[in-house]
Amino acid sequence: MKDKLGKLLTISPLTITIAITFVIVVLFFVNPPFLHFMELKTLDLRMVSRGKVAPLDAVVIATVDEKSLSELGRWPWPRTTMAGLVDKLKKDGARAVGFDIVFAEPDENSSLKALGALQKELRGAASPAVMKILERKRAGADTDSALARAMEKAENVSLGYFFHLSKKDVAHITEDEAEERSSLIASSRYQIVEARPGAKPDDNAFIHAFTAEPNLPAVSEAGQNSGYFNAFPDADGVIRWSPLVIRMGDNFYHPLSLALLQQYFEWEPLILQLADFGVEGIRIGDVQIPTDEAGRILINYLGPGKTFPHYAISDILNGRLDPDTFKDKIVIVGATAIGIYDLRVTPFSSVYPGVEIHATVIDNILRKNFLQRTAWTSLVDFLSIIGLGLLIGLVLPRFNAVRGLLFSAVVLAGFIVVNTLLFTRMNAWLNLIYPVLVILTVYVGVTVYRYITEEREKQKIRGAFQYYLTASVINEMLKDPTKLKLGGDKKNLTVLFSDIRGFTTISEKLSPEELVHLLNEYLTAMTDLVFKYNGLLDKYMGDAIMAVWGAPLDQPDHAERACRTALEMLDELKKLQNRWESEGRPRLDIGVGINTGDMVVGNMGSQMRFDYTVMGDSVNLGSRLEGINKEYGTNIVVSEFTYETVKDRFFCRELDSVRVKGKKLPVRIYELLGEQRDADRWVRWSGVFEEGLARYKEGRWDEAIALFRQVLNIKHGDPPSELYISRCESLKEHPPEGEWDGVFTMTRK
C-alpha cells in the first residue's frame, strides 16, 4: 500500500494531469471574475458565429430616425405629433404600442404659455364668454392632454419609464413625491406573486430601486400599461441580461417588454414565482420564463441592429406604408437618429439600438428559445473538464511531440465545434473556457515535464563529449591541473550566442536524417570559425551555439576576435545557402548576439561531473542580444561594452537603448556591419539613421519618421527604420506616460 501511494505521489504525467484537472475543477466552482468574463466573451463569439436569425412577424420598430427628423422637425416633437402616431397605429390595427421614451416633462408650448398669460391678464376685466373662449383655446393648445386623450382612446399603449437605482440620485426627492411617483407606475407591478410554502426570498438577490422617473400624471393615467426600460450592462459594457424584476419597497415591477407581452396575450396575468434563493421564474399564459435568482433573462440576440423591421414615424404619419403593416403587431417606438440614438453595446455591435433589446426579449419569450444554465449543463461542464483533462494526460505521453500537439489540437478543435453546435442547434450554453483551459494546461504541463526529463538525459550526453570539442581547453587543463577544481574566477571576457531563425519550421520540412545532415554541416562550418579565432565552444543548445573568448587562454583582443568570428559566420552562411539552394534544401538564417564584460569562468558541477563554462549577468545579456535581432530585423547585435572596445576597427550603427527583461538600467545596442575599412558602404545612410534615432530619443516623432523614411529611400527595406517608423506612429497616437527617456523596454527574453 505504501509503495502504491509513493508511486502515485511521484511526479509523472498522470500525477501532473490529476493535479491540474483538480485545480481547474476548483476554479470552475469558484468561477473567478476574470474567467467568468472570458466565458461571457466566448458566449458572444458563439452568438455572432451563429449569424443572423430572422425574427417572428410579431414585433416592429417605429423609429425617430434622420428621415423623420428632416420631415417633422427637430426632437423633441410636439406631443400632438406623438398623439397623431398613437391614433394612426390604432387605426392600422396595432395590438400593442410601447414607448421606449419617457414623457416626464410638460411639452414646451409657446401658444399655451401665451394663452395662460392672457387669461391671467383679462381675469375680472373680460366677459365670461371671452374667458370661456380662451379656456377652450387653451385646452386645445395643451399638447400633453392631447397625447393623453389619444392614448386613452387607443387603449393599447404601454408607457416606458426608468428607475433611479442610486440613493444619491434621489436625495432631493421628498417622501410624498416618491409616493406620488410610485402611484404613477402602479400598472407595472406584478399583481400575482407566488412563493413556495414557507419561502423567505433572499432580499439580496433582487435589483433594488429607490424611486422612478415616470411620465406626466395625465399621460401615465391614460396609458393601459407601463414598464421600466433600465439597461444593465456587464463590466465590459455589453448588455447580455434583461432583468424582468426590480423591487422597490414591498412591490415588484416588470419591464416594458413584459407590459407589451401582457397586452399581446390579451391581458394574461403576469405571475412572479419566488423561492428562498430569489426568483424561481415568471409565467405569462402558458409560457414559463426561466430566470436566474435575480430575475434576469439571458438575451438570445438574433443579429445586429435592424434585425427587426424599422419604420420611420414620418412614413407612418404620412400614410406611406401598407395599412396591414402594423395589424396585430407589437409596435415599439424609439429613437435611432444620430444625436438622440439610444446606443447600446451587444455581442453583435457597439452601436446597437436600445429599442431592439425590448424587441429581442419579446421575440425570445414568444419563441421560447431561452439561453439558460441548468443543472444538467453544469453537470456536463463538470464531466467535460475531468474527461478532457484525463484524455489529454493519458494519451499525450504515448505520442512524440508533433503527434502529441496534433492530437491535442484535434481534441481542442473538436470540443469547440461540438460546444458551438450545441449552442446554435439547441440554445445550450455549455461552458467553453474551463474545458479549453484544462486541455491547454494539461498539454503544457505534460509537455514541459517531458521536455525537462528528456533534456536532462540529453545534457548527460552533451556533458560526456563536451571536452573533446576544443583542443585549446584540453591543453590548458593539462598545463594547469588546478583548473579542474570546482569553482571559477572572475574575468573580463566576450561571449557570443548564435541561433538559427525558424528552426522548428525548417525541421518539419525535413526527414530526421536530412535534418541531422543539414545541422551538422551548419554547426561544423560555424564551429570551425570559432576555433579559427581560438574561441572556446562552450556548448551547443540544439541549433544554438555559445562561444567565449578570453578564457581559458588570456586574449587581450577577445572582443575583436568575437566580432570577426560573427562577420565571417555570415559570409560562410551565404556560401552554404547558395549550395543548399542549388540542392533544393531549405535556407537557414541566423542571429548573433555579442557582449563583453565580467564573467565567472571555470568548472561548474560536482566532483564526478562538471562543465567548463561561464556565467553571470554579462552572459545573460549576450543571450538576450541574440534574441533582440528578431525585434530589429538584424543579424548581429553587440552591446555598448563590446562597441567601446572595437569601435576603432569595426563599423557599427547604434540601434537603440534597451532595458532588457529583468534589468532596470538601459543598455545601448549596436548593429555590427563590418570592418572600418569598408565604412563607405554604410556611412551615407547610417548617418541619417543616427539623426532619426536622436530625434526619436528627443520625442520629436514627425522629424524622426521623416529621417527614417530617408534611410529607406537609400537602403530599401531597412528593418530597423521600418520598426522606428511604426514605433513613432504608435507613440504619436499613444504618447508615453511621464517623462520620455528614449529607452525601449523588452518584455520578453
Mean pLDDT calculated for residue range 117-132: 54
Confidence of residue 586 (pLDDT cuts 50, 70, 90): confident
CA–CA separation, 556 and 562 (whole Å): 12
Question: Cα 577 from chain centroid?
Answer: 42
What's residue 538's pLDDT?
Answer: 85
Assign residue 565 a region (left: φ > 0; alpha: ψ between -120 and 50; beta: otherwise): alpha
What's residue 474's pLDDT?
Answer: 52
pLDDT tens, position by position, 596-651: 999 998 777 665 566 778 899 999 999 999 999 999 999 999 999 999 999 999 99
Q: Please give the full DSSP string across 116-177, using - where no structure is assigned.
A: HHHHHHHTTTS-HHHHHHHHHHHHHH-HHHHHHHHHHHH--EEEEEEEE--GGGGTT--HHH
CA–CA separation, 165 and 173 (whole Å): 13
The yes-or-no verdict on residue 83 having pLDDT over 90 is yes
Mean pLDDT calculated for residue range 490-512: 87
| E strand intervals along 197-326 | 211-213, 225-228, 241-243, 246-248, 251-253, 270-275, 278-284, 287-289, 296-298, 310-312
- For the chain, give the percent of residues with pLDDT over 70: 88
- Residues facing residue 590 across a β-bridge: 500
Least confident of 81-85, 196-200, 344-348: 196-200
What's residue 607's pLDDT?
Answer: 54
Confidence of residue 481 (pLDDT cuts 50, 70, 90): very low
φ, ψ (nearest 5 deg) of residue 247: -100, 135
Confidence of residue 115 (pLDDT cuts 50, 70, 90): very low
What's residue 87's pLDDT?
Answer: 94
The yes-or-no verdict on residue 461 having pLDDT over 60 is no
Mean pLDDT calculated for residue range 559-569: 96
C-alpha grid cell for residue 179? 409616493
Sign of the C-alpha dihedral, residues 241, 299, 271, 186? positive
The yes-or-no verdict on residue 483 having pLDDT over 60 is no
What's residue 531's pLDDT?
Answer: 87
Neighbouring CB atoms inside 10 A of 126's CB total 15
pLDDT tens, position by position, 96-108: 999 999 998 887 6
What's residue 134's pLDDT?
Answer: 46
| Residues ≥6 apart with Cβ < 8 Å to 414 | none
What's residue 132's pLDDT?
Answer: 55
The yes-or-no verdict on residue 749 having pLDDT over 70 is no
Q: Contact 325/60 with Cβ under 8 angstroms?
A: yes
Q: Tell me the average pLDDT of the chain.
A: 86
What's residue 742's pLDDT?
Answer: 87
What's residue 744's pLDDT?
Answer: 87
97 or 200: which carries more pLDDT confidence? 97
What's residue 463's pLDDT?
Answer: 47
Q: Contact 228/255 with Cβ under 8 angstroms?
A: yes
The kind and range of the H/E element at 574 are helix 558-582
Angle at 578 between CA 575 and CA 582, to 5 degrees: 145
CA–CA separation, 189 and 429 (whole Å): 31
The yes-or-no verdict on residue 124 having pLDDT over 60 is no
What's residue 677's pLDDT?
Answer: 93
Mean pLDDT calculated for residue range 284-301: 91
Q: Contact 40/236 with Cβ under 8 angstroms?
A: yes
Mean pLDDT calculated for residue range 340-358: 87
Q: Are strands 650-659 and 610-615 parallel, antiparallel or unpaired?
A: unpaired
Residue 591: which of 554, 622, 559, 618 has the closest Cα? 622
Confidence of residue 495 (pLDDT cuts 50, 70, 90): very high
Residue 712: which of 725, 729, 699, 701 has the closest Cα? 725
Least confident of 36-50, 261-275, 445-459, 671-685: 445-459
Length of the chain: 749
- For the chain, give the percent of residues with pLDDT over 90: 59
The yes-or-no verdict on residue 384 having pLDDT over 90 is yes
What's residue 536's pLDDT?
Answer: 86
CA–CA separation, 352 and 691 (whole Å): 49
Query: What pTM, to 2 d.p., does this model score?
Result: 0.58
Least confident of 133-147, 528-542, 565-579: 133-147
- Domain extents for the chain? 2-30+373-452, 59-367, 484-646
User: Which residue type occupies 320?
Assistant: R
CA–CA separation, 642 and 458 (whole Å): 33
What's residue 510's pLDDT?
Answer: 82
pLDDT tens, position by position, 691-729: 999 999 999 999 999 999 999 999 999 999 999 999 999
Superfamily of chain region 484-646? Nucleotide cyclase, GGDEF domain (3.30.70.1230)
pLDDT tens, position by position, 533-557: 988 888 888 889 999 998 877 889 9
What's residue 612's pLDDT?
Answer: 72
Q: Contact 639/625 with Cβ under 8 angstroms?
A: yes
The kind and range of the H/E element at 566 are helix 558-582
- Residues facing residue 537 across a β-bridge: 547
Least confident of 118-127, 462-471, 692-701: 462-471
